[in-house]
Amino acid sequence: MSLSQRLAALLVCLRDPQKVASFQRLCGVEEPRLHGADAAAPEERGGRNPDRSADPEGGGGKLRGCGARNGVRNGLPEAGGDTATAKAGERESEATLQNRVQGLRRNSLTGEEGEVFGVRNWPLFYLFSFGTELGNELFYITFFPFWIWNLDALVGRRLVIMWVLVMYLGQCAKDVIRWPRPASPPVVKLEVFYNSEYSMPSTHAMSGTAIPLTLVLLTYGRWQYPLMYGLVIATCWCSLVCLSRIYLGMHSVLDIIAGFLYAIFILAVFYPYVELIDNFNQIYKYSPLIIISLHLALGIFSFTLDTWSTSRGDTAEILGSGAGIACGSHVAYQLGLVSDPPLDMLPLTIPSITVTRFGKVILRILIGMVFLLLMRIVMKKITIPLACKMFGIKSDDIRKARQYMEIELTYRYITYGMVGLSITFLVPCLFYFIGLS
């Protein structure tokens, strides 16, 4: 067998959904065996026929029955099946049903819900549920502001620059390669929020690789701490996020490996220019016009979708947030609201935690997050109807209207642009006036 054939066979093996299903079973994920009334008519409940193959895209998750196992089909003994085996199967079914969980993160735009599944290892379930949140919006909207408001604004700004580059290029790669999610069955879909997106590469894996590694690159030498601590934390962070996506049934092993390597490649190419980009954003007089125009053009012209998915909206959020944070840092710098420590003060020492300092951190987080959430809610309420009126699209069904490209790009870009502007300008202004700077 030639080298190319071996490589092709390896790629096919790494993409095999059975590998994902095996990892899920190893970690204690299983489909609950149905019996009694629950098993009478799975299709009447809206569930998929367990004997049918899944949509190659991964399909919307529904409660599924199981085939014949141990002389039991859906909890009822098969003709000729051993009675003791059937009873044992029923007891096992009951134990599994007691531990069944509805899938995570229902998609409000499509109405999809994750499958109902059984859990035999709750610590791993909570660990990987936390790990996947490290690549979701809730984490980003709290983590980046925390760095900018409380720890180191320079590190926070440059971290966002790299995050935008990595996530944007990752989303574009997905829509160029267009590989579907792992097939279900055999994979159990624990989460369907991103199920409409393509699978290759995993942008969760890219984010989970880029953020901790960029933090180490930005902070080592600027802050005093042992390098080994940073590398250990980065490794654990990256591993947790990557494994969580396999656990949830959203990516193949190949998707994860490709996402990890792609993120490393992007860091190697663009990280040397992050200081230049940050200085341009702050100092150059017309940088806001260039930033807004560039980010908007990338969102409109970079790629097209054959069908709707959450990918386009996520990309608009990423670009809008990045543009808003960059423009906010420009305004804040020009007004003298933000000043980075001089070079002769480096490396910085981690300050001791006092009651006063801890209290200010908590107040900044509470006040700042309330401001951001209110800004997000208000901007959505304003921009969606306004965009519908501007483009002549009926707003009776908001869910459907939000899937039009004109509406989706407009409201997400403006909404998250204002959120980003708030992070680096409006909220710091508020802190300045109330004495929390």
The DSSP secondary structure of 320-388, one letter per residue, reads: HHHHHHHHHHHHHHHTT---PPPGGGPSBPPPPP-HHHHHHHHHHHHHHHHHHHHHHHHHHHHHHHHHH
In the predicted structure, residue 44 carries a pLDDT above the cut 50:
no
Say if residue 268 is in the same domain as residue 215: yes
Which of 35, 204, 295, 330 is flagged as catalytic? 204
Which of 50-59, 112-121, 293-302, 308-317 has the weakest average pLDDT? Answer: 50-59
Residue 225 to residues 230, 232, 235, 349, Cα–Cα distance (Å): 8, 12, 16, 8
Say if residue 238 is in the same domain as residue 280: yes
Which of 35, 251, 295, 330 is flagged as catalytic? 251
Q: What percent of the chain has pLDDT over 70?
A: 75
Which of 85-89, 304-308, 423-427 has the weakest average pLDDT? Answer: 85-89
In the predicted structure, residue 88 carries a pLDDT above the cut 60:
no
274 lies in which domain range? 134-434
**Winning range, highest mean pLDDT, from 5-19, 73-87, 94-108, 274-288:** 274-288
Residue 204: active-site member = yes
Say if residue 48 is in the same domain as residue 100: yes
Say if residue 169 is in the same domain as residue 63: no
Q: Which of 109, 130, 151 is the last residue of a domain?
A: 130
Per the structure, the count of domains in the chain is 2
Residue 376 to residues 101, 253, 420, Cα–Cα distance (Å): 31, 35, 10
Query: pLDDT band at 69, cuts 50/70/90?
Result: very low
Contact status, residue 187 vs residue 21, Cβ threshold 8 Å = yes
Q: What percent of the chain has pLDDT over 90?
A: 29
Say if residue 96 is in the same domain as residue 192: no
**pLDDT on residue 161:** 94
Say if residue 214 is in the same domain as residue 76: no
Q: Which of 130, 161, 177 is the last residue of a domain?
A: 130
Say if residue 240 is in the same domain as residue 182: yes
Burial 396-419 (b: 16+ CB within 10 A, else e): eeeeebbbebebbbbbbbbbbbbb
**pLDDT on residue 178:** 81
Q: Which of 110, 130, 150 is the last residue of a domain?
A: 130
* Of 8 and 370, the one with more pLDDT: 370
**pLDDT on residue 277:** 93
Which of 33-42, 217-226, 324-333, 411-420 has the weakest average pLDDT? Answer: 33-42
Going by C-beta distance under 8 Å and a sequence separation of 6 or more, which residues neighbour residue 247? 23, 24, 27, 29, 124, 128, 190
Query: pLDDT band at 342, cuts 50/70/90?
Result: low
In the predicted structure, residue 214 carries a pLDDT above the cut 60:
yes
Which of 25-29, 259-263, 303-307 has the weakest average pLDDT? Answer: 303-307
Say if residue 211 is in the same domain as residue 139: yes
Query: pLDDT band at 259, cuts 50/70/90?
Result: very high
**pLDDT on residue 65:** 35
Looking at the domain assignment, is residue 18 inside a domain?
A: no
Looking at the domain assignment, is residue 16 inside a domain?
A: no
Residue 35: active-site member = no
**pLDDT on residue 157:** 92
Say if residue 355 is in the same domain as residue 281: yes
